[in-house]
């Protein structure tokens, strides 16, 4: 592990104090854990494990679940750490990210790079040996797309960055399915699409809250370059498509009654929140009026409960 020496300058570019000497072990450990973005990992696992229940038509093999969860977590952590290395210049300037390990100079970029590559290699080995080669390949593909497609190519160049870059976050639905069945099918593709269309409303709501950060570092996230009303309208469009995609699982896989009822009810609530944010954004840029974080938190709850329904459906109706 590498951390700063005794002669570091008093302040970093972000204005945060740099450590006066070597960081304590617990701070270094916490910094490395932070590089993996644990909250993102939680969200990805939320779409992996329920799909395993759905694919198994009940409770999947516990050992297989553990191997998939461990491998998937390490893969997601690897992608996040490598993202932190590449984005360290803008992370140091943004309020939301400037307390990450690299901007605070607790972990060096070289150490974070080694850490990220090590996690990725270990994740691939675990998934290949204890799950199956297809799941391992999908994990590698997701990680590469997140790093090269989103982080390096799209993020700083287009307002469509999160639309197409969000594809990486959709792969856990495919990985969960293939972990159990060893092959792809239409059901996980539908769930892949749900996450794909969910990602822009979720991310744009958060980006609206931090739009000045993105504008300050020239990252063309839609809320940083477009009026709030335009963002709200786009959120509504993607929300409608997302709900429509979620309802496709019922005819595609002939689910029981739990999933379609949950999908319809949760979708209705989400659409109400999306339309309300759009309505509040008309004619104003005042975030205290628009309240984008209301939709952001609602989006987290929506996805969580929808995938809980995915897991419960085979347990209660098959």
pLDDT tens digits, residue range 192-240?
A: 999 999 999 999 999 999 999 999 999 999 999 999 999 999 999 999 9
Q: Which of 3-12, 134-143, 161-170, 234-243 has the lowest mean pLDDT?
A: 3-12
Residue 251's pLDDT band, with cuts at 50, 70 and 90, is very high
Q: Which two tokens stand for residue 287?
A: 């975030």
Q: What confidence score (pLDDT) does residue 19 get?
A: 52
Distance separating alpha carbons of residues 70 and 161, to the nearest angstrom? 28
Rounded average pLDDT over 154-166: 94
> How many CB atoms are closer than 10 A to CB 273?
22
Helix (H) or strand (E) run with residue 138 in it: helix 133-144
Q: Where in the chain is the domain with CATH 1.20.120?
A: 185-318
Contact 32, 77 (CB under 8 A): no
Distance separating alpha carbons of residues 105 and 102, to the nearest angstrom? 5
pLDDT at residue 7 above 50?
Answer: no
3-state secondary structure of 2: coil
Q: What confidence score (pLDDT) does residue 31 get?
A: 93
CATH of domain 185-318: 1.20.120
> How many CB atoms are closer than 10 A to CB 23?
20
Which CATH superfamily does the domain covering 25-158 fall into? Answer: UbiA prenyltransferase (1.10.357.140)
Q: Which two tokens stand for residue 122?
A: 């270990």
> At residue 104, what are phi and psi to the nearest 5 degrees?
-85, -5
Q: Where in the chain is the domain with CATH 1.10.357.140?
A: 25-158
The distance of Cα 69 from the centroid of its chain, to the nearest Å, equals 15
């Amino acid at each position: 592990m590498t951390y700063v020496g005794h002669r570091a300058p008093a302040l970093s570019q972000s204005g945060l104090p740099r450590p006066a000497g070597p960081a304590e072990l617990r701070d270094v450990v916490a910094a490395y854990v932070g590089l993996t973005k644990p909250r993102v990992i939680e969200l990805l696992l939320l779409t992996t494990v329920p799909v395993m229940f759905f694919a198994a038509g009940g409770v999947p093999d516990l050992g297989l679940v553990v191997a998939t969860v461990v491998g998937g977590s390490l893969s997601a952590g690897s992608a996040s750490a490598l993202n932190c290395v590449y984005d360290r210049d803008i992370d140091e300037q943004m309020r939301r990210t400037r307390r990450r390990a690299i901007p605070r100079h607790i972990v060096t970029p070289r150490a974070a790079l080694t850490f990220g590559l090590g996690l990725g290699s270990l994740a691939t080995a675990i998934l290949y040996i204890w799950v199956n080669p297809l799941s391992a390949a999908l994990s590698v593909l997701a990680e590469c797309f997140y790093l090269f497609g989103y982080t390096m190519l799209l993020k700083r160049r287009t307002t469509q960055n999160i639309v197409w870059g969000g594809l990486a976050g959709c792969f856990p639905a495919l990985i969960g399915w293939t972990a159990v069945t060893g092959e792809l099918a239409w059901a996980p593709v539908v769930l892949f699409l749900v996450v794909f269309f969910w990602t822009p409303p979720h991310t744009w709501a958060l980006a609206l809250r931090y739009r000045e950060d993105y504008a300050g570092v020239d990252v063309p996230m839609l809320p940083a370059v477009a009026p709030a009303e335009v963002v709200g309208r786009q959120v509504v469009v993607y929300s409608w498509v997302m709900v429509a995609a979620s309802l496709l699982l019922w005819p595609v896989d002939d689910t029981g009654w739990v999933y379609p009822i949950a999908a319809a009810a949760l979708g209705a609530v989400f659409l109400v929140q999306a339309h309300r944010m759009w309505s509040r954004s008309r004619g104003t840029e005042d975030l205290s009026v628009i309240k984008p974080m209301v939709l952001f938190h609602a989006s987290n709850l929506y996805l969580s409960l929808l995938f809980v329904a995915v897991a419960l459906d085979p347990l209660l109706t098959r």
